[in-house]
Amino acid sequence: MLFVNYQSFSATCELFSETVYQLFGSISQKERVLTINVFGGITDGEYLSKSEIIRQKAQQVFGRLPLLSYIAQMPENEHTLIAEVGYLAEGISTLAVCYHKIPAGRYLTTETDDFSAILIEGMMSDQLRKPIAEQSFDILNKIQKILKTVSMPVENIIRQWNYIGHITSVENNSQNYQEFNNERALFYASTNWKDGFPAATGISMDIHAVIVSLIAVQFHNNTRILPVDNSLQLAAYRYSKTLLGKSEKKQTPKFERAKLIITGQSACCFISGTAAILGEQSLTNVNVKTQTSQTIALIRHLISTENLKENGINFSCELKIVHLRIYVKETADFEAVCQVVEAEFSGISLMYVCAGVCREELLVEIEGVAMTEL
């Protein structure tokens, strides 16, 4: 089994500092917390000061700093903060975890007999007024330095989260998401990705910034790392030139629909951000409930034994979803999306935030984690 599992916590107070303190206080098993992603509504002018409050309160509550990322995505209630917490898996000692800080940023390393892993805190550019392309370049350069510091090849990135300010907005005649994709493609060009690209999410934020966090793993045993295609969707990195436009500079999004890690008697599947796209075309002229149902159907098909067989993977046990993060474009649609999701899933960790998707016509996106014992 991999080294993280996820739980979500929330808190609501009038004062931001009180909300943060209450939020961190509600988190269980504090000694085993590795990462905390805090989600909340925020403006550009408040972001840095509130990020500092989050760090101060984390130090106060935990006595140390887990990896912290503050994501500018608002929950349904604008005064609420949500924490998505990644825990060290049972059976792995906290002594196996080391936190590091270098000029490029903060990260942690985990060493066991089975694997070496690195988790990188949400990286940001030092200059938030730069164009999105330049911020993306700065961040990916920082990540490259961290990976080199720990001798972790770029191709060992298995899961990456890319938060892109105002993702579909156009700056200097180029869309922000496209600018990020161009920079990511240059960063990835240094390796051949023999085990496929990472699973990934590219999603909007409410500030003019880019944040990237990731997990990279190097296994020491016979563990298999496998990319998973969805037979109902074209692989994102194979999207057509027609869809992208005429410029040869434009690069496709470099990620797999999912990444499956099989080790020992268990398997973990990182499900990339998924929206209602069939083939490479968005499902349009339908309401948010229909898009949500279609997205869930795509995820269920992705991890089904039928689709895994098409990818050359034969399982005797089904993968079961254990955590989902749901991005809803419009706050007015929260209730409708919740109704669909919670009718399909019970007894698992669910969290919802408001965030724009990479295409204007898409109203919802879902990512997650699925696991099974073999």
Q: Is the pLDDT of residue 158 over 80?
A: yes
Q: Is the pLDDT of residue 112 over 60?
A: yes
Query: Dihedrals φ, ψ of 338, to 5°?
Result: -60, -40
Confidence band, pLDDT 50/70/90 cuts, at residue 114: confident
Q: Is the pLDDT of residue 316 over 90?
A: no
Confidence band, pLDDT 50/70/90 cuts, at residue 263: confident
What pLDDT is attached to residue 3?
A: 63
Q: Is the pLDDT of residue 11 over 70?
A: yes
Q: How many Å apart are CA 7 and CA 34, to the nearest integer? A: 12
Average pLDDT over residues 284-291: 97
- Which CATH fold would you assign to the domain 1-90? 60s Ribosomal Protein L30; Chain: A; (3.30.1330)
What pLDDT is attached to residue 245?
A: 54
Query: Dihedrals φ, ψ of 134, to 5°?
Result: -70, -40
Structure tokens that stand for 224 in this block: 């298999």
Of 138 and 4, the structure prediction assigns the larger pLDDT to 138
- DSSP, residue by residue, 208-252: S-EEEEEEEEEESSS-EEEEE--TTB--GGG--HHHH-S-TT---
273, 216 contact by CB (below 8 A): no
Confidence band, pLDDT 50/70/90 cuts, at residue 244: low
Q: Is the pLDDT of residue 242 over 70?
A: no
Please, is 358 exposed, middle or buried when counting C-beta atoms within 10 Å of its C-beta (0-12, 13-18, 19+)?
buried
Structure tokens that stand for 240 in this block: 């057509």
Structure tokens that stand for 299 in this block: 């995820």
| pTM confidence score | 0.96
Q: Which amino acid is at 35?
A: T
The CATH architecture to which 93-220 belongs is 2-Layer Sandwich (3.30)
Q: Is the pLDDT of residue 2 over 70?
A: no
Let me know if the fold of 93-220 is the same as that of 266-374: yes
Q: How many Å apart are CA 297 and CA 231, to the nearest integer? A: 12
> Which residue do the tokens 């408001």 mark?
354
Look at the alpha carbons of 170, 171, 172, 178 in this order and tell me if their dihedral is positive or negative.
negative
Q: Is the pLDDT of residue 323 over 60?
A: yes
What pLDDT is attached to residue 266?
A: 86
Nearest CA-CA partner of 16 in 65, 66, 50, 56: 50
Nearest CA-CA partner of 251 in 311, 308, 305, 174: 174
Confidence band, pLDDT 50/70/90 cuts, at residue 374: confident
Q: Is the pLDDT of residue 248 over 70?
A: no
Structure tokens that stand for 200 in this block: 């990934």
Q: Is the pLDDT of residue 270 over 80?
A: yes
Average pLDDT over residues 257-271: 91
Tell me the domain boundaries of the chain.
1-90, 93-220, 266-374
- CATH classification code of 266-374: 3.30.1330.40
Average pLDDT over residues 336-365: 96
Of 90 and 290, the structure prediction assigns the larger pLDDT to 290
Confidence band, pLDDT 50/70/90 cuts, at residue 246: low
Contacts of 305 (CB under 8 A, 6+ apart): 315, 318
What digits encode the pLDDT tens for the residues 166-184? 999 998 889 999 999 999 9
The partner residues of 120 in beta bridges, in order of sequence, read: 107, 214
What digits encode the pLDDT tens for the residues 177-225? 999 999 999 999 999 999 999 999 999 999 999 999 999 999 888 888 9
236, 92 contact by CB (below 8 A): no
Confidence band, pLDDT 50/70/90 cuts, at residue 90: confident
Contacts of 214 (CB under 8 A, 6+ apart): 119, 120, 143, 157, 159, 160, 161, 198
What pLDDT is attached to residue 317?
A: 84
Q: How many Å apart are CA 229 and CA 239, to the nearest integer? A: 13
For 106, the enclosing helix (H) or strand (E) is strand 105-111
